[in-house]
Each structure stands twice: as structure tokens, then as C-alpha cells.
Amino acid sequence: MTHGGDRNLRVDDPRTDPVRVLIADDEALVRGGFRVLIDTEPGMVVVGEAGDGAAAVELTRRTRPQVVLMDIRMPGVDGLRATREIASDPDLADVHVLILTTFDHDEYVVDALGAGAAGFLIKNTEPAQLLRGIRLVAGGEALLSPGLTRRLIARLTARTAAPRFDADALAQLTARERQILALVAHGLSNTEIAAELTISHATAKTHVSRAMTKLGARDRAQLVALAYRHRLVEPPDPGP
């Protein structure tokens, strides 16, 4: 395991408040590639690298990154268990895990979100999309790799534990919150919702947070599961 927290956080760094990223992957070449990509991006800095899940959790506690790029398959403690440990630690509430893997099977997506991951991308994602994903997740939004949302819905409605649903809670939603809930359920980020409805990002984020609170959803993935399971939004055809 190697880590470069002190090396990357330079006093003369021209970047202001860079997004702090930790890379967890058992392949040194993969970590190296991500490090070069992220460290050369203005406004981002790699604070550490870990070759397994246990090291990732330890380094996360020590370096407090905003985003952890987490591989699923690693020796010893895998990425799902490491994600679960990070997500369940109240001291790491500001840390967001972005799962990166070569596997796009639905099972991995559901397990990752169930473990507390904020997003899921395939490793062959375009560099610009990865950097965008890091920024979205750092800002507190959920992220799914393009093409996965439709298949994920069927899994979420079947397996994700939905909160106890109070019919009166739905009546508390405003017309705008219902509209935004539908967009969330179809996989749109807060930024995309803001563009779709011509409102500010902050307004979109506020409406999503209020809908989660009123419906008793603990996170965005659970909000999606609740919306489809209780037919607040009609599920699309998941396809073959």
C-alpha cells in the first residue's frame, strides 16, 4: 500500500479547496492511472492510495477524503465491506464512496448501493465522465453509470428495503416535490433536474431533501425504491 496525502497537499497549490480523493484498488497500475488523471485535473487532489478494503477504511479515517474511488473485488476486505464500514461510521458522514469496477452486473450495483455507496461507474468510463462523477458525488449527489438505471429499478423494487410507507406522507408532498420525485426515480441528478425544470441547483437539492424527509427515505437509492414500489412512478420496461 502506498499513500501520498502529504505529497499532494502542497502549500503552494494554486487550487482552492480541491476535492480530496482516495483511490482503493488492488492493481497498482490502475491506481496510478487514476492518480495521474485526478492530480492533473484542476480542483482535485489524490490524498491516498489503498490496495485492499481494510487499508481503504484506515486511510479514509486518517485522510478524510470527500470521495473514495472503491474497487469491488479486492483481497481480504473487499470493496463492499469497506464501503459498509465507511458509510456506517458517523465520523465519516462527509465521505462519499464511488464504486468503480469492471463488472456492471445488477447484483453488484444493488449490493454497492445497499452498502452505502453514493454512486457506481464502470472502469472503462470516459475520463471526463469519471471526473464529472467525482464532482457530483463530492457535492452529495447520487450517480449511476449510464444504462444501468433502468435495470437497477427492477432490482431495487424487488430487494431494497423500502421505509414504512405512510399514505398521509404522500399527501404532504407539494406538486413540485412530486414532479422532482419522478425525475429522481428516472435517474436524474440534482444538476439535471435543475436544468430540466429551469430552477437553481440549490432549489432542486432542497426539494429532493424535503421529499426524502416526508417519505422517510434515508438516501436517494431508497427514495427511488419507494417511488417505484408504491407506484408513485410507473416503472419502465426493464428490457431483457
**Cβ-based neighbour number of residue 19 at 10 Å:** 20
Set out the domains of the chain in order of their start, with CATH numbers.
5-146 (3.40.50.2300), 153-229 (3.40.50.2300)
Residue among 80, 142, 136 nearest 111 (CA): 80
More confident residue, 164 or 177: 177
pLDDT of residue 4: 44
**Residue 164, pLDDT score:** 54
Residues 59-71: b if buried by 16+ CB within 10 A, e if exposed: bbeebebbbbbbb
What integer pLDDT is reported at residue 235 of this predicted model? 56
Residue pair 66/95 in contact (Cβ under 8 Å)? The answer is yes
Res 183 pLDDT > 80: yes
Kindly indicate the confidence band of residue 60, based on its pLDDT and cuts at 50, 70 and 90. very high
- Residue 63 · residue 48 · CB < 8 Å: yes
pLDDT tens digits, one per residue of 19-57: 999 999 999 999 999 999 999 999 999 999 999 999 999
**DSSP string covering the chain, please?**
----HHHHS-TT---SSPEEEEEE-S-HHHHHHHHHHHHTSTTEEEEEEESSHHHHHHHHHHH--SEEEEES--SSS-HHHHHHHHHH-GGGTT-EEEEEES---HHHHHHHHHHT-SEEEETTS-HHHHHHHHHHHHTT--EE-TT-HHHHHHHHHHHS-PPPP-HHHHHHS-HHHHHHHHHHHTT--HHHHHHHHT--HHHHHHHHHHHHHHHT-SSHHHHHHHHHHTTSSPPPP---
Tell me what pLDDT residue 62 has: 96
pTM of the entire predicted model:
0.68
User: Given this model, what pLDDT does residue 169 score?
Assistant: 72
pLDDT of residue 95 exceeding 60, the answer is yes
pLDDT at 173: 87
d(CA 187, CA 175) in angstroms, rounded, equals: 19
Asked whether the CA dihedral 71, 77, 81, 84 is positive or negative, the reply is negative
